[in-house]
A and B are shown apart, each in its own frame.
Chain A
Amino acid sequence: MRKFFVVLGFELKNYLKDKTFLIITLLISVFGGLALFLPSFFDLSDVLPVPAHEGKQQISEEQEKEKEEEVSIKYYISDDEKLIPKELWVEFYEEGTYQFVTKDKVEQAVKKHESDEAIGFVVNSLTDVDYYVMNKGMMDMDTVTMQGLLATVYQMDFCEQNHIDYATFTQVLEPPIKINENILGKDTESNFWYCYAFEILIFMMIVMYGQMIAVAVTSEKSNRSIEVLVTSTTPVSLLFGKVIAGAIAAVIQVGAIFLCVFGSYAINRDAWGGLLDMILHVPASVMITFCFFGLGGFLFYAFLYGAMGALVSKTEDISKSVSGIMMVIMVVYFISLAQLSNVDGILIKVLSFLPFSSYSAMFARIAMGSVSIIEVIVSGVILVASIVGAGWVGAFIYRRGTLRYGNPIKLKNIWKE
């Protein structure tokens, strides 16, 4: 046990003395923390949907005028038959942003516009519109707005033809319904984004630190220090020391970043108006679950990464050696993300008990779905047992692999020997 701590201390010092490690941790922590202080010191209400600073001067008439002048034409509309009343155009589109042109000039106007943001509409009838745009964006809402405008005109015509009061009609069509939400379990909608962010974070941690552990093992093999090490202590002490050191380094790095970012947001939450709550206001229970299952999954894979590192003699061969593990991690990652909207489905339930996927699946279920405490305990016990198992198997492969130099060793040959 003493030698395990000696290895652990040496390896940990290796990480903590690494300038890249320190600079990255410091930069992300400081900049992340400082960035979240910005709304407290600067008024960002113009660029972000955050509360304006108290005492902010009202926009003067002159500024208002300037702003009006800044409004430029974006929409080129052809409504030759005047199907849409002028007052509705004003209601749906900001004045000054649209210009009526003839049908044959819409496409040309969009093409010749100074930016790629110009939009063109040719209203053929109340149910048929041609839409022109240079590059269609992912979140394009222009057709939705036009659809709303046409539907309104259509409904007004209908009301007029049938002698129905339009105001009454709209009230019937869209009665003011008040829903008082009483969420007794979890609010999937609000938990979704931080769950999503944590899934990405743990994936990155496993891949990044796993790779670092594999490199550390292979380096000892390539510089032959492994020969002296295996004659001084046991492979179990060596591999466990390396992996636990990697885990501690990861916790220190991610912990420092979390502390700065989450702490900074907690202090400045009011200034942000709760804008980032969906990512940075995480319940303690979710955070604890993330720590347990995330760290567990990390350790499970870290042992396997260490073992895979022992199978090759050159660091450039590591990517080939760990490709199998990478494949499993990627599959788990994509399934977990895809299943975030269905966290009570059978697939994610099964994955939440398997050690190679529980770090991700069980975390998602706890954060967003229905899961009993027994299920969490069973999954936790399986994960812990699997970590120990992975450690022993890893140490076995490590001992056999580290002393065989030359070409990469196949796993089946390790068992055969």
Chain B
Amino acid sequence: MKLEVKNIHKSFGGTEVLHGISFTVESNNALGLLGRNGAGKTTTMRILMDVFKANQGEILLDGKKFEPSKCSIGYMPEERGLYPKRVILEQMIYFGRLHGLGKKEAEESSKKWLNRMGIGEYANRKLETLSKGNQQKVQLAATLVANPDIVVLDEPFSGLDPVNSQVLKDIVTELIAKGKLVIFSSHQMNYVEEFCDNIVIINHGNVVLSGKLKEIKREFGKDQLVVGFEQLSGDETRQLLETKYSEYVQVTAVTKSQVVLKLKESVEKNDFIQAMAKNGENISFVGNYEPSLNDIFVEKAGDEV
């Protein structure tokens, strides 16, 4: 399966909030939709799910118009979407049946997922009696009850403690391994880095960065090194480099014991290392710099901070 989002525009009350969002995601892959609050992630997901209609653009699944109601799709909205005063099993069966399952099938699947989430004992309790984290797990179970081929998760990790996050991580990993097409948004970059082969960063309704995460990282780390000296702190290292090696490099970031630096134009990595060796510097570490997704995100979406 290949899902293509092409040039989506959306306006609310005359104000355009999405200015041509495009991305592609395929089965067996997870796409991380990133962006700051109000960037347009949830609106993009809602358009994808046909909750909102786009003013312009199209969404294709394997080259044909994508219609969520006719596809096997599980959607977990950002602000959750269950009945607090209804019994958990009852509403999960309801959602399963709305996705085409028979009553018995829906019941079995509901119980299976609740047990998988470790909350099987709460099946006959009202949702509102559960903790926030457990409610979140019920929500995910309801999303997956009909075994969808496409899974859209809007901020699935928000509000989860590390133990519950781990359960969720395992399930998402399992979904990807099973060949599902997973799209999810999150502010927690470590989760996105862990699951997603592809990312899309949206800022002010525009796609500011998209592509394979590995390539993006490589591109962002190009001509950048991480250096550390024995018995020198990060600041001392920066001072040393700025004093003695300013013709080779420019320090871009400082950590506790290391610095990130960028090679100056026409300077090769080996020239710089040889220069340090020649001066007898006590190097503890030198290597290629690979930026974290967080660094990339801040650089691309942190324009106003």
Interfacial residues, chain A to chain B (CB-CB below 8 A) = 3, 6-7, 10, 13-14, 219-220, 223-234, 403
Min CB distance, B277 to chain A, in Å?
61
- Name which residue of chain B comes closest to A416, CB basis: B13
Name B83's contact: one of A223, A227, A230, A403 (CB within 8 Å).
A223
Min CB distance, A204 to chain B, in Å?
25
Interface stretch among B71-79, B173-181, B257-265, B291-299? B71-79
B61-120 with Cβ < 8 A to chain A: 68-69, 73, 75, 77, 79-84, 86, 90, 94-95, 97-99
Min CB distance, B104 to chain A, in Å?
14
A228–B50 CA distance with the chains assembled, in angstroms: 11
Min CB distance, A391 to chain B, in Å?
19
Q: Do A232 and B77 touch (CB < 8 A)?
A: no
Say yes or no for B123: interface residue by CB 8 A criterion.
no
Give 28 pairs: A residue, B residue, CB < 8 Å, sorted on A: A7-B98, A10-B94, A13-B90, A219-B83, A223-B84, A224-B77, A224-B80, A224-B81, A225-B82, A226-B81, A227-B46, A227-B75, A227-B79, A228-B75, A228-B81, A228-B82, A228-B95, A228-B142, A230-B51, A231-B50, A231-B68, A231-B69, A231-B73, A231-B75, A232-B98, A233-B69, A403-B46, A403-B52
- Name which residue of chain A comes closest to B75, CB basis: A231
Say yes or no for B17: interface residue by CB 8 A criterion.
no
Q: Do A403 and B51 touch (CB < 8 A)?
A: yes
A14–B87 CA distance with the chains assembled, in angstroms: 10
A25–B12 CA distance with the chains assembled, in angstroms: 46
Say yes or no for B49: interface residue by CB 8 A criterion.
yes
Min CB distance, B143 to chain A, in Å?
8
A403–B68 CA distance with the chains assembled, in angstroms: 16
Query: Given that A231-B51, A231-B75 are contacting pairs, would A223 and B98 also be in contact in the complex, using a CB cutoff of 8 Å?
Result: no
A14–B126 CA distance with the chains assembled, in angstroms: 13
B98 contacts across to A, CB distance below 8 A: 3, 6-7, 229, 232-233
- Name which residue of chain B comes closest to A413, CB basis: B13
A13 contacts across to B, CB distance below 8 A: 90
Our count of residue pairs bridging A and B at CB distance below 8 angstroms stands at 58
Q: Do B50 and A6 touch (CB < 8 A)?
A: no
B82 contacts across to A, CB distance below 8 A: 223, 225, 228
Say what secondary structure dominates the interface of chain A. helix
Min CB distance, A9 to chain B, in Å?
8
Q: Do A232 and B95 touch (CB < 8 A)?
A: yes
A14–B90 CA distance with the chains assembled, in angstroms: 10
- Name which residue of chain B comes closest to A13, CB basis: B90
Min CB distance, B144 to chain A, in Å?
12
Interfacial residues, chain B to chain A (CB-CB below 8 A) = 46, 49-52, 68-69, 73, 75, 77, 79-84, 86, 90, 94-95, 97-99, 142
Name A225's contact: one of B51, B69, B83 (CB within 8 Å).
B83
A3–B52 CA distance with the chains assembled, in angstroms: 21
Min CB distance, A8 to chain B, in Å?
11
A7 contacts across to B, CB distance below 8 A: 98
Min CB distance, A182 to chain B, in Å?
60
Say what secondary structure dominates the interface of chain B. loop
Q: Do B99 and A227 touch (CB < 8 A)?
A: no
- Name which residue of chain A comes closest to B97, CB basis: A6
Max count, chain B CB within 10 A of own CB: residue among A10, A13, A224, A232? A232
Q: Do A14 and B75 touch (CB < 8 A)?
A: no
Sorted from nearest, which 9 A-B pairs have the closest CB atoms? A232-B98, A228-B81, A225-B81, A224-B81, A227-B77, A231-B49, A224-B79, A6-B97, A10-B94
Min CB distance, B67 to chain A, in Å?
11
Min CB distance, A338 to chain B, in Å?
42
A23–B82 CA distance with the chains assembled, in angstroms: 27
Name B81's contact: one of A6, A14, A223, A234 (CB within 8 Å).
A223
Min CB distance, A414 to chain B, in Å?
13
Min CB distance, A209 to chain B, in Å?
19
A227–B94 CA distance with the chains assembled, in angstroms: 14
Min CB distance, B9 to chain A, in Å?
15
A6–B95 CA distance with the chains assembled, in angstroms: 9
Min CB distance, A402 to chain B, in Å?
9
B79 contacts across to A, CB distance below 8 A: 224, 227
- Name which residue of chain A comes closest to B79, CB basis: A224
A231–B142 CA distance with the chains assembled, in angstroms: 13
A219 contacts across to B, CB distance below 8 A: 83
Name B69's contact: one of A220, A234, A403 (CB within 8 Å).
A234
A142–B83 CA distance with the chains assembled, in angstroms: 62
A228–B96 CA distance with the chains assembled, in angstroms: 11
A234–B67 CA distance with the chains assembled, in angstroms: 12
A219–B75 CA distance with the chains assembled, in angstroms: 19
B68 contacts across to A, CB distance below 8 A: 231
Q: Do B99 and A232 touch (CB < 8 A)?
A: yes
- Name which residue of chain B comes closest to A10, CB basis: B94
A229 contacts across to B, CB distance below 8 A: 81, 98
Name A227's contact: one of B51, B84, B97, B142 (CB within 8 Å).
B51
A219–B127 CA distance with the chains assembled, in angstroms: 15
B83 contacts across to A, CB distance below 8 A: 219-220, 223, 225
Min CB distance, B156 to chain A, in Å?
14
Min CB distance, A305 to chain B, in Å?
20
Min CB distance, B202 to chain A, in Å?
19
A227–B79 CA distance with the chains assembled, in angstroms: 9
